[in-house]
Amino acid sequence: MANNNSKEFQEYHLQVPENEYSDIRLDKYLASKIDDTSRTKIQEAIKKGYITVNGEQEKSSYPVEVGDSIEVRIPNPAPPEITPEEIPLNIEYEDDDLLVVNKSGNMVVHPAKGNWSGTLVNALMWHTEELSEPEEDTVRPGIVHRLDKDTSGLLVVAKNDESHRILSEYFRTKDIERTYWAIVWGTPDDKEGTITGAIGRDPHNRKRMAVVPEDKGKNATTHYKVLEYFDHLTLLELKLETGRTHQIRVHLADNNLWVFGDKKYGGDSVRYGPNTGSRKQMFNNLFASLQRQCLHAKTLGFEHPTSGEMVEFDSELPGDFEQVLGMLRQNCQPEHIY
């Protein structure tokens, strides 16, 4: 089943295989095949001619047959209006063209299904409206790049179209210096190294990414350096050559170096060392208080889109990340490298 999500429609193509269905109603068949939609929505789409079988419009009661080719378009609901919200922001730098935000580790960047409020964009809209004269058009923040909800750290935001264009080009051509810090389960073979591997959708779980064959994903390169060793864990500095979805988390997990606390990719359980007694309790307490992965976008550097000067920013680790580090240093035989 192919799925192409346009702004107006969720689009699918289905071919009914042999030995699967016979004489089941069209609406019931589609409801069993398409996630996140209801039979009622499918029936409405059929009535409006958005669904065809073998190129023809059919009724909801049409009995599906083996070999049928079904084209489906389900209208997307109109998104709610994005509104400014008075949410505190940790702004590291700001001028007329851009600002750099140190995002907390529990904030979604952009409004989307399930998170229409409480996002970084909602907060930025409030902040930038405060800078605008009432009679002027509202300054809309331009998100140049994103961080996962559960990743903290530095983001640059454009405040006008020209800055957005230039900064976006920097990210496209890799003219951005970015480093991340992560606590991971396990120890890399070398103190410094490079991880490569194409990243695409996990064929076994469409909500995750995975290292896949080159023809199934996009090339990705991650450089790492050990900063500190612990008992069965490591603090790493990571630099990206590419910016694929979940790149650091996927590359590390594929090398059995799961990011500490990462629920999606398996870092939220004891992966190495004894899983008993006080050690097990310590880690369970850390998982419970952390509620996210220990991944932080620590530094960010780029050429200012207006002045042409190189600007560089370095952020402090958030409190929850520091708490994990403190416990590891106290209980897990640390060996400092940097």
Question: Among 53, 56, 57, which Cα is nearest to 67's?
Answer: 53
Among residues 27, 148, 150, 268, which one is catalytic? Answer: 148
Tokens, residue 93: 């730098």
Cα 66 from Cα 47, distance rounded (Å): 23
| CB neighbours of residue 134 within 10 Å | 6
Asked whether 270 and 283 are in contact (CB, 8 A), the reply is: yes
Contacts of 153 (CB under 8 A, 6+ apart): 102, 103, 147, 180, 296, 297, 298, 315
Say if CB 62 and CB 27 are below 8 A apart: no
Q: Is 214 helix (H, G, I), strand (E, B) or coil?
A: helix
Inter-residue contact 184 to 282 (CB < 8 Å): no
The DSSP 8-state label assigned to residue 259 in this structure reads B
Beta-bridged to residue 180, according to DSSP, are: 238, 297
Identify the DSSP state of 215. G
Active site residue 137: no
Q: How far is CA 27 from CA 31, 58, 165, in A?
A: 6, 10, 45
DSSP bridge partners of 235? 183, 228
Place of tokens 């700001």: 94
Residues known to be catalytic: 148
